[in-house]
Structure 1
């Protein structure tokens, strides 16, 4: 069974990453030189990070919509997904007085045995809007109940941290473009592009398997 929206996210990410690869190859071949090459090299970390963030957000939205399309009753939904389903109620409880808080806690727990259709809000995702790092993947795996590791290979954690740090240095002006560009060779950055693509492919494969096996059900 194909999940076209999920596939579309991965395809779009591939196109973006191919564009970044070409920019890096233009530096490697000498087509872009000097200060322009340094600026372009440094900026690729911003572009890689933006592609990762956008693709992960869009992929999570696609996953949520696929779950909604199954019209699964709440009584059958795996408990961890209630961290998203009841997000607004958690906030409401936190902002309520003692008496009202108790009533709202009861209302929340009754949803676990409700036969109403599960309807996840696609604007409520397990992301915090910050630069994507390894620490963002672990909560996603817990919320959805994915059974495999959040990253396929240990070195992907280093890649995520490196790209995030370099991205922030460029975006926040904490280091010059020349300094950031000089930290790694173009070949190293090309490898980071490949590994970020592998991270996204791992998420896609995990989400696809999750949907095919209906692992959103208790």
Structure 2
């Protein structure tokens, strides 16, 4: 357990959701062996990818939002904030900059850069965290590590990146109706899907530990 209840809950919740996915797969493997129930087994097995994708997204969003909320609660001046975090604290003005043209653009750029030395207390809004609402893939964690400056690699190992990509790809096939559930369910045996879930458990611990270490050691300061 850490000093951050929201982080602890995020890790526990993801573990519970992963366990439910495991139970669904075990149930399918034991109960629906007969040919006449094959379609139901395929539906459940394919739906696991959708459930995993949603669970990973919820976990990641909670971790990121908790980190920015904790930083905001410390009432830190922009001048003391890690430079990368300005991408969040002045995310609104950065976004508006793409609409500015001509000489005014240069004035706005200088104005934004001046925030780096401002004594004004920084607020990190949840609206500008480094997530885009899409199914979580390895690139999302690379950007999260870049923006916050978490220590260590963004993924625990290359296999985790492959697991994330596979879950995202299969999830989209089901959710967007690009393939029927029978086809998606047949892409991986149950044992392989269970190993994917194990990889996500490992990823969750990795991300959780990085966030806790980051906050405990106040790595959000310059």
TM over 0.5: yes
Give the distance between the partners of 2:115 and 2:23, measured in 1 at CA: 51
Listed as ranges, the gaps of 5+ residues in structure 2 are none
TM-score by length of 1: 0.95
2:122 is equivalent to residue 121 of structure 1: no
Quick check: 99-108 or 198-207, which moved more? Answer: 99-108
- 1:45-194 alignment, distance < 5 Å: 45-194=49-198
- Offset of residue 31 of structure 1: 5.5
**Runs in 1 of length 4+ with deviation above 6 angstroms?**
none
Where does residue 203 of structure 2 map in the other structure? 199
Give the distance between the partners of 1:40 and 1:97, measured in 2 at CA: 52
Quick check: 85-94 or 191-200, which moved more? Answer: 85-94
Give the distance between the partners of 2:103 and 2:221, measured in 1 at CA: 33
- Offset of residue 62 of structure 1: 0.8
Give the distance between the partners of 1:7 and 1:146, measured in 2 at CA: 18
Calculate the aligned-residue CA RMSD, in Å. Answer: 1.4
Where does residue 16 of structure 1 map in the other structure? 17
Q: Give the number of equivalent residue pairs.
A: 218
Give the distance between the partners of 1:184 and 1:26, measured in 2 at CA: 17
TM-score by length of 2: 0.93
SS of structure 1 residue aligned to 2:127: coil
